[in-house]
Amino acid sequence: MKVHGVFLVAVFFYLGYTELVKGQPRNDCQTSCGKVTIEYPFGTSPGCYYADDRSFNLTCNEKEELLFGNIEVINISPSGELRVWKKVSYACYNSTGYLTNGSDHTTTLGNLSLSRKNEFTIVGCNAYAYLTTTGPQNYSTGCISACDSPPAANGGCNGAGCCSTDVSAPLGSWKYRTRPFRLGSSTSVYDFNPCTYAFLTENGTFHFNASEDLKNLRNVNKFPLVLDWSIGNQTCEQVGNRSICGTNNSICFNSTRGTGYNCKCLEGYEGNPYLSNEHGCQDINECTINKHNCADPRTCRNTVGGFYCKCRSGYRLDTTTMSCKRKDFAWATILLGITIGFLSLLLVVSYVQQRLKHRKAAELRQKFFEQNGGGMLVQRLSGPGISNANVKIFTEEGMKTSTDGYDKSRILGQGGQGTVYKGILPDNSIVAIKKARLGDNSQVEQFINEVLVLSQINHRNVVKLLGCCLETEVPLLVYEFINSGTLFDHLHGSLFGPSLTWEQRLRIAVEIAGTLAYLHSSASIPIIHRDVKTANILLDENLTAKVADFGASRLIPMDKEQLTTMVQGTLGYLDPEYYNTGLLNEKSDVYSFGVVLMELLSSQKALCFERPLQSKHLVNYISSAMKENRLHEVIDEKLINENNWKEIEEAVRVAMECTRVTGEERPLMTEVAAKLEGLRVTKSKHQWSDQYPGEETENLVGVGILSAQGDTSSTGYDSIKNVASMHMEAGR
């Protein structure tokens, strides 16, 4: 018995030694951790990974995360790549430039190395970062990012807010370190970028967006990283038949990292090339998995490591088309040649006809393009000072499809500049499409003017122009779709529910005033709207104001304070000084806004012929009430309560100042926006004080003024324009 026991131990030892020489893992090795498959030569316990290199020893923790050292593994590629998650290094500063918190990372690579499929990236303004590696040959690289103002949201990683560089680290590096830093201490930077981030990531996996990444890097603290691995430090020629490539179905190839080798399956085989068992390289059936090129799948026959196409008796295989042909096919060839020649002739004729048809259609589209002011639009958009032009050109067919052939049921409104349709684009987004009146060439200039003006505006309270179509008989403009009608509808119509509250009306007034202040003072080229009225103020589902209809607007050159133009506007809102002199300036918009504010306060129309002769105009109506101390009679009684009368009186005073006869006596829109925002802030402060008596409240008027002077950010609202009836009043 003892002899037999010794013999069995010896056999077991021999077999175990043989497996070790072959480089094969035990049969009971762990093959997965969480959702990650563990591929040999990697493993999680002795006897399961390639024993000559502990870099292949991975750990599966209690969270079922597969770890290389302390780095989480994403997947293992037998071709020599290990993808892992790597944390971001960061440094955060306060407004005085002092470091408040941060983290840089030193990562040990063992016998693995950084792949050249990675890039080193820094996110931040006025910042720089280093990548250093330690090994037989040290390596350093870095990147600098500088910006004078918040970069454009989709500006790309081009050195403004973000910088990236390729990684060419030498092979055999033991470890690497990433470190971010801040350049200088400009306080303007910290308003939008308190932190600097540095990280290595696989090429193409990070796409910089300033609005999302400068604040908090989209709350992402790790990125995928590619590491290269190989077996040993000898080439395939040097290692010979001692490689650990599993079977005769796998071959050795020299590693791209410059040292060692890797294995791969032969053509026609799939599996792990390092294993010799059923998980190693196994023959695949090309005929069943559609990896053959036989013209008729029924002729495909699988072989070990390949396939062939088998033709039935009397047929031969045409290797050009991989199809079966009759062996005697002389007459068939002649007939086929004649058929091909005839079809070719038909194809040529058809091609010529199509070319002529396309040319005629192109000429017609070009004619309409020029007729609809396309040349004028291109010239103006390419002129000096045009900085935000980003107009999408829609096709005639796309517009016809989106409006169901301009069906009457899609009409949202009709007025002086044409008809507005509801459109549904191929991506199911809803838009509003304005179509000029057929045969009215005078509208072309206004359409082109609206494109020109809206291309200069980037504001959350201005209806966004998405694009235009000029290849149709009449021009079309495409806008975002706003779904809650106009301010006119809410004040004077019956299509909506309960009337607007005082708080909502005050907020809407602040939003309109802030928008006009932005157009006058903050746009790249000052803009005068010239037709401010409640019918041109749209409301979205949150009752947020959206200023619309810029067909009558004008861009004011920086060296001019006013323009002499043909008088244009809407009666009731038209500035009397502009009407008498034809001199247009920003105070004309101030007057119109004053009328809109009076409408918000009184719920009365700008012109009403049912009122007494001297009070038909709303300005005179409210002015008389002020003088006769009967203001409460003209203010909408639904707005008045014991807590807001002073605010209403102050708002009336602002409206009266805006509608003074002489433009010089009217305030600027920035001043109007600040006063109205001050009313909102004061109201919020009083409400806070009433709720929490005795506590101090912060004076937010300064903040309100900044907000009123123009929020130029684009908020990404998915708002839509759902106008039951577009009120186009006289005077357009």
Which residues are marked as active site?
A: 531
The H helix count followed by the E strand count for the chain is: 17, 38
Question: How far is Cα 593 from Cα 616, in angstroms, rounded to an integer?
Answer: 18
Question: How far is Cα 91 from Cα 182, in angstroms, rounded to an integer?
Answer: 8
Residue located via tokens 């005050």:
506
Are the C-beta atoms of residues 473 and 443 closer than 8 Å to each other? no
Q: At what angle do helices 586-602 and 645-658 cross, to 10 degrees?
A: 150
Residue located via tokens 């070790």:
20
Cα angle 513, 517, 518; round to 5: 120
Question: How far is Cα 265 from Cα 78, in angstroms, rounded to an integer?
Answer: 10
Question: How far is Cα 605 from Cα 599, in angstroms, rounded to an integer?
Answer: 6
Residue located via tokens 């830093």:
181
In order of 16, 288, 359, 469, the CA distances from 374 in angstroms are 82, 57, 19, 9
Percent helix, percent strand, percent coil in the chain, to nearest 5: 35, 25, 45
Are the C-beta atoms of residues 522 and 461 closer than 8 Å to each other? no
Question: How far is Cα 122 from Cα 108, in angstroms, rounded to an integer?
Answer: 21
Task: List the one residue out of 305, 287, 306, 289 whose CA is nearest residue 297.
Answer: 287
Instruction: Give the DSSP letter of residue 124.
Output: S
Sort residue 181 into left (φ over 0), alpha (ψ -120 to 50) or beta: beta
Give the rounded distance of the alpha carbon of 141 from its chain centre: 31
Q: At what angle do helices 669-691 and 586-602 cross, to 10 degrees?
A: 30
DSSP string, 156-171: -SSSSSEEEEE--PPT
Question: How far is Cα 370 from Cα 441, in angstroms, rounded to an integer?
Answer: 12
Q: Evaluate the CA torsion angle 357, 358, 360, 365 in order and state its sign.
A: positive
